[in-house]
C-alpha cells in the first residue's frame, strides 16, 4: 500500500513539473485582452475557449421549460410578462416631468 502511494506521488509530481513544458510545446491562438478601463495595467492572454467560458459562467441560463413550444409565460391573456396579474400595467414605473421627457403638465 505504501509503495503504491509512493509511486502515485512520484508520478503526479513528475506530471506537474512537466506541465509548463507541455504548455509551451503546443501553439495556441491567444489574443490580448485589456481588462482595465484606462489600459494602465498588464494585459492578459486569453484563448477563445477561456474567454467564452468566462462569459458563459457569468450569464444565466434558459431552462428547458422556457424553451418549450407550448409554454406560455403568463396564463392571463393580454397581461404583461413582467407583472403576470390580470389588469396589471405593463410598465408601472412612472417618470417625473422634466425637460428631457418633454411632458406637459
Between residues 80 and 103, the one the model is more confident about: 103
Q: Given pLDDT bands bounded at 50, 70 and 90, which one contains residue 5?
A: low
Domain extents in the chain: 27-59
Asked whether 84 and 76 are in contact (CB, 8 A), the reply is yes
The pTM assigned to this predicted structure is 0.19
Dihedral class, residue 102 (left if φ above 0, else alpha if ψ from -120 to 50, else beta) = left
Q: What is the pLDDT of residues 67-100, one digit of tens each?
A: 777 776 776 666 666 667 666 666 656 667 777 7
Whole-number pLDDT of residue 98? 72
Q: What is the pLDDT of residues 16-70, one digit of tens each?
A: 665 555 454 544 555 455 455 554 444 456 677 787 777 777 767 767 777 777 7
Identify which of 62, 93, 91 has the alpha carbon closest to the alpha carbon of residue 79. Answer: 91
Whole-number pLDDT of residue 52? 73
Amino acid at each position: 500500500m505504501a509503495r503504491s502511494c509512493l509511486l502515485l506521488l512520484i508520478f503526479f509530481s513528475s506530471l506537474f513539473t512537466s506541465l509548463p513544458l507541455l504548455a509551451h510545446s503546443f501553439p495556441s491562438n491567444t489574443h490580448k485582452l485589456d481588462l482595465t478601463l484606462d489600459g494602465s495595467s498588464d494585459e492578459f492572454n486569453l484563448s477563445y475557449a477561456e474567454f467564452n467560458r468566462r462569459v458563459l459562467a457569468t450569464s444565466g441560463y434558459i431552462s428547458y421549460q422556457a424553451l418549450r413550444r407550448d409554454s406560455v409565460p403568463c396564463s392571463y391573456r393580454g397581461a404583461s410578462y413582467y407583472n403576470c396579474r390580470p389588469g396589471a400595467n405593463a410598465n408601472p414605473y412612472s417618470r417625473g416631468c422634466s425637460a428631457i421627457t418633454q411632458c406637459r403638465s
